[in-house]
Amino acid sequence: MATITQQPAVGGTPAGLPSGEARQRTFLRLADLLSSWAFLLPNLLGVALFVIFPVVASFVLAFLHWSGSRAEIEAIRWAGLENFRDLFADKAFWQSMYNTLVLMLGIPLRLFGCLGIALLVNQRIREVVLYRTLFFLPTISSATAIFILWQALYNPDVGLVNRLLAWVMLDGPNWLGDPNWSKTALIVTGVWRSLGGMTMLLYLAALQGISESLYEAADIDGASAWKRFWHVTWPLLSPTTFFVLIMGVIHGFQGGFQQAYVMTRGGPAGSTMTIDFFIYNEAFFTSQRMGYASAAAWVLFAIILAVTLIQWRYGQKHVHY
């Protein structure tokens, strides 16, 4: 509060001794400034307390050994870089990193799937709104419910997936019980859930923003449907693709906890434990190593930042606006 009242006062008082009128003007300006800050204050305080403070606290925590309990506040020890050193030596961390990267293979699948669906529902068909709603269904259903549904679908004995596979004479694996298949199962569920969702809508909006005259010009040049897509549509969609990829990578790195928690609890044999699952595990489930978990969170942040910057620089060269 002190800074807020001081700041306008410094800016508002003229150097010389103010006359009565000038003093009133100063007062009005001060009141104006104060009321402006009053608009900002609720949100600012909230953001300070629940964003800025946690960021700082998390950074400090990353260099401490602490269970987070108030009773053990005496037991806080300075760790220096120990948390980071232990982290890089921790097999579970590397495994979770590997798992996350493998699960991110779903991003390109999702991208092409969504583009395909967008191209389909962009066609001139009368009942297209119905299809769009049906495609939208998994996206707007509760994620927990969807993951529970798929956990049941993957059941090796009674689940629908293996039943359909048996129908085409294939012997389905124990999807969620087999470490070799669990990640595939999670990717399929993730792609299925997002096929008609946000990415599809973004592509659809972008498709409809492409000027008709470009296609006409391509037609006059005798371009085939494929060439028309490859030389007109795809380049003009590149800003959307770029946006979707950047967001997908950011979410891919720090997501996956809910799906893994509901469907597999991170198992079998840690094969679906993602980085954020690893962090929450360290902080809340198996151990209460708040410092260690914070260190892992910062490493994750650094990775996300680096990858996003690389993508950004690549995008500057290859995206057509």
User: Is residue 63 a contact residue for another protein (CB under 8 A)?
Assistant: no
Q: 237: closest CA among 197, 198, 199? A: 199
Return the number of the residue (19 or 57) whose C-beta is nearest another protein.
57
Tokens read off for 249: 């990578």
Q: Which of 25, 105, 192, 267 binds another protein (CB under 8 A)?
A: 192
Return the number of the residue (124 or 317) whose C-beta is nearest another protein.
124
| Touching another protein, residues 195-224 (CB under 8 A) | 195-196, 198, 201-202, 204-205, 208-210, 212, 215
Which pairs count as long-range contacts for 241-245, CB under 8 Å and 24+ apart, including other chains?
Answer: 241/111, 241/319, 242/311, 242/315, 242/319, 243/202, 244/111, 244/114, 244/199, 244/202, 244/203, 245/107, 245/111, 245/311
Return the number of the residue (187 or 195) whose C-beta is nearest another protein.
195
What is the distance between the alpha carbons of residues 119 and 204, in angstroms, rounded to a whole number? 7
Tokens read off for 292: 């260690």
Q: Which of 21, 71, 225, 316 binds another protein (CB under 8 A)?
A: 225
User: Is residue 175 a contact residue for another protein (CB under 8 A)?
Assistant: no
| Touching another protein, residues 242-261 (CB under 8 A) | 243, 250, 253-254, 257-258, 261
In the complex, what is the shortest distance from the CB of residue 305 to another protein, in angstroms, rounded to a whole number? Answer: 8
Q: 122: closest CA among 51, 212, 184, 186? A: 212
Q: How many chain residues are in contact with another protein, going by CB under 8 A? A: 103
Return the number of the residue (19 or 130) whose C-beta is nearest another protein.
130
Q: Which of 2, 71, 158, 220 binds another protein (CB under 8 A)?
A: 158
Which residues lie closer than 8 Å to 125 by C-beta, 6 or more apart?
131
Binding pattern for the stretch 263-292 against another protein, x by CB under 8 A and - elsewhere: ------------xx--xx--xx-----x--
| Touching another protein, residues 68-127 (CB under 8 A) | 68, 70, 117, 120-125
Of all residues in the chain, what percent are helix, strand and coil, respectively (each to 5)? 75, 0, 25
Tokens read off for 181: 């298949």
Which pairs count as long-range contacts for 136-139, CB under 8 Å and 24+ apart, including other chains?
Answer: 136/196, 136/197, 137/196, 138/192, 138/193, 138/194, 138/195, 138/196, 138/197, 139/193, 139/194, 139/196, 139/197, 139/198
User: Is residue 174 a contact residue for another protein (CB under 8 A)?
Assistant: no
Residue with tokens 């419910």: 145
In the complex, what is the shortest distance from the CB of residue 101 to another protein, in angstroms, rounded to a whole number? Answer: 16
Q: Which of 9, 81, 101, 128 binds another protein (CB under 8 A)?
A: 128
Return the number of the residue (20 or 208) whose C-beta is nearest another protein.
208
| Touching another protein, residues 3-42 (CB under 8 A) | 7-8, 11, 33, 35-37, 39-40, 42
